[in-house]
Structure 1
Amino acid sequence: MNIKQYLDSTYLKTAFQAGLSEAENNSMVKNTIIEAITEGFKLVMIRPEYVATAKEVILKANSTLLIGTVIDFPEGKSDIETKIREAKLAIECGADDLDFVCNYEAFKNGDIALVKQEILTATQLGLAHNKTVKWIIEVAALNEKEIIQLSSLIKNIVISNFEEDDYASVFVKSSTGFYETHNDLPNGATIPAIIMMLENASPLPVKAAGGVKSYQEAIEMIRLGVKRIGTSSAKAIADGENTTNQY
């Protein structure tokens, strides 16, 4: 198994979050891109403002590395128009994967119509441009029933509105890795949450993000059926090391 082809090497911190200057944070992003090229990872996942830079570096290196970015990150509370505008800009800059944060708070509050509309509209946009679309449901913010319901909702929207050939390009993704939990509870992918997602999102693929901290954990996720893993420690995991990073 080539585990590197399952790994989305991720750097999503702002300079403030990382405790760095803007110049230092820019260097961190570029180093992540270069490392992903060198190591042969599937994709590099970065914030939208760095997509154009990533495209330039990848083209210069004659690499096949994919570029992923996050939309309406990390809370997912923006209106549909804002999500679409941000996604269109990312597409123009060269993004291959669009990881939308689902408006999970609206879902929890019962505004299912809004959630359905944003999933349909944004997925239509991504697929129309031959992009991979992922819907981040933020499992740490949901209870078990909500994880099941939201995974099923996304699946049903895709099955009802798109062709079977499109299913592999629409993922349900566990987490942003930035959700604040209390009492040391996990804020990312857990085995129980991933199992619920796999059971209820199928035939859509699932991406485990946040909380995968070792090679063995990554292998376990893959054996369960996960198709992609988002991690800021891709090299450490691929090298068989453990990491304490939270996303």
Structure 2
Amino acid sequence: MVDHTLLKPEATAADVTALAEEAAALGVYAICVSPSMLAVAKRAGSSAQKLCAVVGFPSGKHLPAIKAEEARLAVADGADEIDMVIDVGAGLAGDFAAIGTEVAAVRSAIGDRRVLKVIVESAALLLLGDEQTLLDVSRAAAGAGADFIKTSTGFHPAGGASVRAVELMATVGPQVKASGGIRTAADAAAMLSAGAHRLGLSGTRAVLDGLSG
């Protein structure tokens, strides 16, 4: 259920190599890295882990064509899964058609065999909008081909995943990935109980140690 994640802009090849080695040791499902680090992760990682790359990260303020091309290149470099960031401002403005357009563009670029997770920045949508906004954005992403709706990049000042956001998103239909600020076993257990199917973690070892303890 875990995407072992390293998306800091200062991450080096050595950092990603260490991430991949730790991912294999922990037996996580996937490694999630920046597109420029896919080749490093692929060389250092185990075939037991899927490779995931982020697209339009972290702001989401990229043209749909750019997001689609970034996703296409990531798949060509070995990505099994794509985590794309929506234009959060479009969602807050109620332009759900724009959300659908960009998600559909990425879906078309990567085909149906790759997993597409759509990051909606749930904390920002709840803080600056309301629960209905989060539901409407999630439905727009689902309708355009998302396999997962994902809470957060972990970089937005509004915050990361929350139990309430996961509960709402879980009613929409696609699977839910909770990510951003999940640092303890209790946090992880709460997200899973709320309906999350996948967790994005950077401090994976501490969380798993807490769960096994």
- The answer on whether the counterparts of 2:101 and 2:144 sit within 8 Å (CA) in structure 1 is no
How many Å separate the matches in 1 of 2:194 and 2:168? 11
Q: Which has the larger radius of gyration?
A: 1
How many Å separate the matches in 1 of 2:180 and 2:125? 15
1:100 aligns with 2:84: yes
Instruction: State the TM-score, normalized to the length of structure 1.
Output: 0.79
Aligned CA RMSD, in angstroms, stands at 1.6
List runs of 5+ in structure 2 lacking aligned partners.
Answer: none
How far residue 109 of structure 1 moved from its aligned partner, in angstroms, is 2.2
- The answer on whether the counterparts of 2:55 and 2:84 sit within 8 Å (CA) in structure 1 is yes
How many Å separate the matches in 1 of 2:67 and 2:13? 24
Residues 173-207 of structure 1: per-residue CA shift (max 9 Å, x gap): 000000013xxxxx1110111111111x21x1000
How far residue 114 of structure 1 moved from its aligned partner, in angstroms, is 2.0
How far residue 222 of structure 1 moved from its aligned partner, in angstroms, is 1.7
DSSP-derived class of the 1:194 partner: helix
Q: In the alignment, which residue of structure 2 is the partner of 1:198? A: 170
Q: In the alignment, which residue of structure 1 is the partner of 2:58? A: 74
Identity of aligned residues (%): 31
Runs of 4 or more above 6 Å deviation: none
The count of aligned residue pairs is 207
Residues 59-115 of structure 1: per-residue CA shift (max 9 Å, x gap): xx5x31111110010011111110011111101110111000011112222333322
Q: How does 1:138-157 map to 2 (within 5 A)?
A: 138-143=121-126, 144-157=131-144
How far residue 125 of structure 1 moved from its aligned partner, in angstroms, is 2.6
Q: In the alignment, which residue of structure 2 is the partner of 1:30? A: 17
- The answer on whether the counterparts of 1:9 and 1:43 sit within 8 Å (CA) in structure 2 is yes
Q: In the alignment, which residue of structure 2 is the partner of 1:12? A: 7
Residues 191-240 of structure 1: per-residue CA shift (max 9 Å, x gap): 111111111x21x1000001212112212222332110001011110011
**Match of residue 205, structure 2, among 212, 215, 235:** 235
Distance 1:225 1:113, change over 3 A: closer
How many Å separate the matches in 2 of 1:121 and 1:188? 26
How many Å separate the matches in 2 of 1:113 and 1:222? 30
**Match of residue 64, structure 1, among 34, 48, 51:** 48
